Amino acid sequence: MSLLDDPDVEVVRTLEGRGLVDAEAIEAARSARTDRSESVSAALLRLGHVREAAFLRCLAEVYRATPMSADQVKQVDVPAGLLGKVDSELAWKQRAMPIAWDEKSRTLRVVTAPPVPMSLEPALKGYFDALAIDLCLSTAVAVRELMQRELPPEPDGVDLSLAAQAYSASSAPSLYAREVGPAKTIVTSTEDNSALNALRQENAKYRIAQEFHRRVTLERSFEAMVERILAVMFELVPAEGVAIWFSSGELKCRTKDGGAGLAVPRSVIDQTITSASGVLAYNAQADGRFDHSKSVVMRGVKSVMAVPLRSRSRTLGVLYVESLSQASAFTDQDLALLDSIGAQASILLDNAELLVEVRRETENRMSLSRFLSAAAVEEVLAGRSTLKLDGQSTEVTVMFADIRGFTPVTAQMRPEDVVGTLNRYFAEMVEAIQQHGGTVDKFVGDCVMALWGAPQSRPDDVRNALRAALSMLERAKKITFGGKPLQMGIGINTGLAVLGCIGSPRRLDYTAIGSTVNIASRLCGVAPRGTALLTAETLMKAGQGVFADSTEPVLLKGIEVPIVPYTLKGFASGHSTPIPLTQAVRGDPSSDKTPPLSREEREALERGRRTSGPKTKRRR
């Protein structure tokens, strides 16, 4: 069985994928080959479409080998003792030349040319009893010249699969002869000892699986990993078509000749999923299990082999290979090998899917955390809360907070000091907002906008907004701005607002709009230094235990009716988390000594204005 339909396909595909050659150069090299024995990659090098150094660096990285230039190969002097161990016929077939042996570390150095079959290193380790292989990669021409210099002439009709030779249960000559004495050698044959043969099969199986894992895990994306698995399968079994059918119904396939895609028979899928170790059909046309399969009959499928892909108690899909030209193309040993590879592929694909999910959740988390609190993000990701991005009308509590005297002070400061102060300010404000269940909506200059009641509503949203305001005012005093403690103003309002993602296709923000938002913004603009102003609606919805001073009615820009703002003072003990009350707050909200609202005050609240007279301290 052959390694590939064209052993040079993977080499050329790798060069093209790395951007070293293009399709035009490949076609030119294919047309300019001196004869059929010259590979396309050799022609690319000969014609100068790719430099030797870049060629070797690229493929040495893929095969994890040491690049060796043609000049370096010419200078190689193979020890005579090592040459005595080499079976020249099989060395020619595998295009691999041992060039050095380190007895102390039991390391064999070998120079070969791409493509490198995955079973080469296991075979070399087994036959030389080596602990490590130092693989060097050079051009096919350089390796051929070295072997012509050191070995007898190349035999005719070379066509051997290393994977098949290493794993096959049939008798096969050893790759290398092992030296026994100074002048005597013997050739180890699998016929000499069936136990040794079985051991070599298991060793080859393990090494192939190890190399398969190494090759496939080089890929970084799920799609690339699937393509790599499909490509490697042609090196392991004499398949003319390979496919992975996923439980989602998706099908990824590849054919040896690069022709039209193949169809995996449904009967094969059904039997493979329910089987313990897969399905093998020596002659699919005469197999009664597939007599109703149109795809088998019409496409002329001769041999079929498939194994289930299972991982973590779930079935990912089916790994399927077929041969259209040869009956009995696959053996029981091939099925065992495919089952072993399928088990590894299942783990790799499952991990790749998991990694995609983790990355997607990380991206969603990072996107949501831009405007939602950590708790809200967890609610949305866990599915306990829905985030309607297309717009909805919801009752929310809106807060605006900004720095007083920001512009004139920053004119006297260095730009880096301004940015540093703003970052400390925003860090404190965001922490206070999120600690009390708020959602940071946006930053505009030195102003921060926050929401409560979105994306999920809680019974204590209004009270939490007021607690956050008091915490923000206290935190602001710790920040120095222009040599003085930072002063800020806050505006808070509660009411209906339209929520959704607003913006252009290139930039969307989840935000709230409407008169409720406008009033909160205007209140922030008129709030004195170090105070938080709130509307009567917010005060009433906050419930018992909130202390606030009513102020003179104000006519806000864009608002036709005057608004009576209230200055937030604090919470009575027993009605909130430990937030110290300001000195302006007195009395127990549950006490009967608190004077009721006067008739004039009630009328002022109803019509949005208040009669003239001294300020009255009120509580809810």
Percent of residues, the chain, with pLDDT higher than 70: 70
Residue 274 reports pLDDT greater than 80: yes
Q: What is the CATH number of the domain that holds 514?
A: 3.30.70.1230
Q: Which of 188, 215, 242 is the last residue of a domain?
A: 215
Residues 178 and 157 in one domain: yes
Q: What is the CATH number of the domain that holds 250?
A: 3.30.450.40
Q: Quick one: average pLDDT of 375-380?
A: 61
Range of the domain at 469: 374-619
Residues 318 and 383 in one domain: no
- Do residues 20 and 54 make contact, with C-beta atoms less than 8 angstroms apart? yes
pLDDT band at 374 (very low <50, low <70, confident <90, very high): low
Residue 11 reports pLDDT greater than 90: no
pLDDT of residue 567: 93
Residues 196 and 226 in one domain: no
Residues 208 and 232 in one domain: no
State the Cα angle at 459 between 456 and 462, rounded to 5°: 90
Number of domains in the chain: 3
Residue 192 reports pLDDT greater than 50: no
Digit-coded pLDDT (tens) for 219-233: 667 888 888 888 888
- Do residues 149 and 68 make contact, with C-beta atoms less than 8 angstroms apart? no
Residues 310 and 425 in one domain: no
Gap between the Cα atoms of 471 and 94, Å rounded: 75
Q: Quick one: average pLDDT of 483-499?
A: 89
Q: Which of 191, 215, 239 is the last residue of a domain?
A: 215
Establish if 366 belongs to a structural domain. no
Residues 139 and 276 in one domain: no
Structure tokens at 57: 């660096």
pLDDT band at 538 (very low <50, low <70, confident <90, very high): very high
Percent of residues, the chain, with pLDDT higher than 90: 13
Establish if 7 belongs to a structural domain. no
Gap between the Cα atoms of 132 and 126, Å rounded: 10
Sign, CA dihedral 141-143-146-152, equals negative
Q: Which of 215, 248, 272 is the last residue of a domain?
A: 215
| Eight-state DSSP code of residue 588 | -
Establish if 193 belongs to a structural domain. yes
75 vs 92, 110, 531, CA distance in Å?
A: 20, 14, 85
Q: Pick the range with the lowest mean pLDDT from 54-63, 173-182, 201-210, 350-359.
A: 173-182
Residues 584 and 479 in one domain: yes
144 vs 33, 57, 79, 149, 210, CA distance in Å?
A: 17, 20, 18, 9, 29
Structure tokens at 177: 């002869």
Residues 184 and 245 in one domain: no
Establish if 22 belongs to a structural domain. no
pLDDT of residue 617: 42
